[in-house]
Structure 1
């Protein structure tokens, strides 16, 4: 029998058929602006990224996909270039065409949901990356023909050519078929490069939970890639997807220096829209009178140089 993974404190996000029907009725009754989309850059800094070997950078490709450059390494998080997600078309194009990415050294996977793990995308990556994946996903990668795969459980750390990678908890779930619910783990990745004092916390997919305090007790991440979308209806989504206000609360608990929002604007996974999520985030930031310079809202395809 396969191992089944759980959230901290045994928090469950199992939903009933009745819950799904209730959500369907609610969605039909809502009026949403589905024309206005999350902005993209006119021209990504493709050449600068391609030939960069010294500077740290964070580029938002879209959704939860980032190109992170640290210590001369090219790191990709949750690579998904899929044009569709289920029955829905992708709303915004990836910020850098897949063929124009540099050779990838490391791929970090947060969990196995299709909007975070897309093998057709991975197949087209240049380079010979090492895949750091949650425990339980390694066998799937190996069946697909990938041999450089390292599985991680919560709080496990690895060192790859000067980059420290630590798999940290998240509150979520996963499934890729009818029979494999929660047979692999989920979490976020803390990436650190000591020489240049750079640290990036890729939160992954999560609801608000006490794990943020646990991370803050052990680490002091500077740049936090925090999800803000797919939270509506909140009675259905709150266990698995953090809303913008709670994302700010989590950022304060983490004592981070820079908040970079993600997980919005590419796919319509719930009832909220990308612009709505961003508006709520900015409103909460203003309400709490937080410093403007700590909020780094990237356009799709935009690069933040560290």
Structure 2
């Protein structure tokens, strides 16, 4: 059975003692979980559903975005789950299933449950085409999904005037005891004549950002900033807010949209903490304020 690996063979092998050390640290920390990322008060539900000509993106929460490009409705890592393991979802999704338009494309960054949730996929409107990392297609087929394209790093696929590229990330995956890293992980780039959007997926900081910058001129990057604490445990797989800014600079992208924070408590940091560290680092690096687009949940950018 094939097992996938990271660039430079970086691994995320943590021992039982590492897990015990982390859990002991967690018990010693006091976190305020009462303050969460807010919902956008004036959601553009009608505009989104009528839109087949404008470019837009809407943050549903966590790593889920509705992206509208070339009249195509795309969902990234759709997860509406109310729980993740033993933890309740901290913030409601920015749009309900009934408020979504019909979906044309779904991309999956990897197989972890907070990025691939089959109960969510069953409830989506339309008959989407699924783009998934190498190794995941058999699982989708077993679940009854036949419109599935499986891709390896640096491969591309054309879809109704849109070019979709699968690019590296530094992570790992597992859905059961026996299937660790039997499917790949990565990010997705959506390219039209006017726009290039990069959905990073789930990643630690790695050299791949420089390689991606060499191949693509990125307009907007959807970049994870949360689930990084404790960093001695998480850094291989989850990028910190400070390193996410470093990656953005290396990508030479025009707009930074933060994600992967505030919906589920996957690590010790909170959503507001991740955002505060991001804003502090942005100011420290003296980057233009207009290049950082922090969204509230359910907020839409349309142009």
With the length of structure 1 as denominator, give the TM-score of the two structures. 0.98
Cα offset, 1:55, TM superposition: 0.1
Structure 2 residue 262 is the aligned partner of structure 1 residue 265: yes
In 2: Cα distance, 1:281 partner to 1:73 partner:
31
Structure 2 residue 215 is the aligned partner of structure 1 residue 218: yes
In 2: Cα distance, 1:166 partner to 1:273 partner:
32
- Aligned position for 2:69: 70
Cα offset, 1:175, TM superposition: 0.3
Q: Report runs of 4+ in structure 1 exceeding 3 Å deviation.
A: none
- Render the CA deviation track for 1:220-260: whole Å, top value 9, x for unaligned: 11000000000000000000000000000000000000000
> Which stretches in structure 1 are left out of the alignment for 5+ residues?
none
Q: SS state of the match for residue 279, structure 1?
A: helix
With the length of structure 2 as denominator, give the TM-score of the two structures. 0.99
Structure 2 residue 299 is the aligned partner of structure 1 residue 302: yes
- Aligned position for 2:271: 274
Cα offset, 1:265, TM superposition: 0.5
Alignment of 1:53-132 (within 5 A): 53-132=52-131
Q: SS state of the match for residue 47, structure 1?
A: helix
Cα offset, 1:85, TM superposition: 0.1
Q: SS state of the match for residue 121, structure 2?
A: helix
Cα offset, 1:39, TM superposition: 1.3
Structure 2 residue 232 is the aligned partner of structure 1 residue 235: yes
Q: SS state of the match for residue 6, structure 1?
A: coil
- Aligned position for 2:144: 145
In 1: Cα distance, 2:100 partner to 2:147 partner:
20
Q: What is the RMSD of the two structures over their aligned residues, measured on CA atoms? A: 0.5
Cα offset, 1:43, TM superposition: 3.2
Q: SS state of the match for residue 113, structure 1?
A: coil
- Render the CA deviation track for 1:82-128: whole Å, top value 9, x for unaligned: 00000000000000001210000000100000000000000010111
- Aligned position for 1:283: 280
Structure 2 residue 265 is the aligned partner of structure 1 residue 254: no
Cα offset, 1:44, TM superposition: 1.6
The count of aligned residue pairs is 303
Q: SS state of the match for residue 213, structure 2?
A: helix
> Which stretches in structure 2 are left out of the alignment for 5+ residues?
none
- Aligned position for 2:17: 18
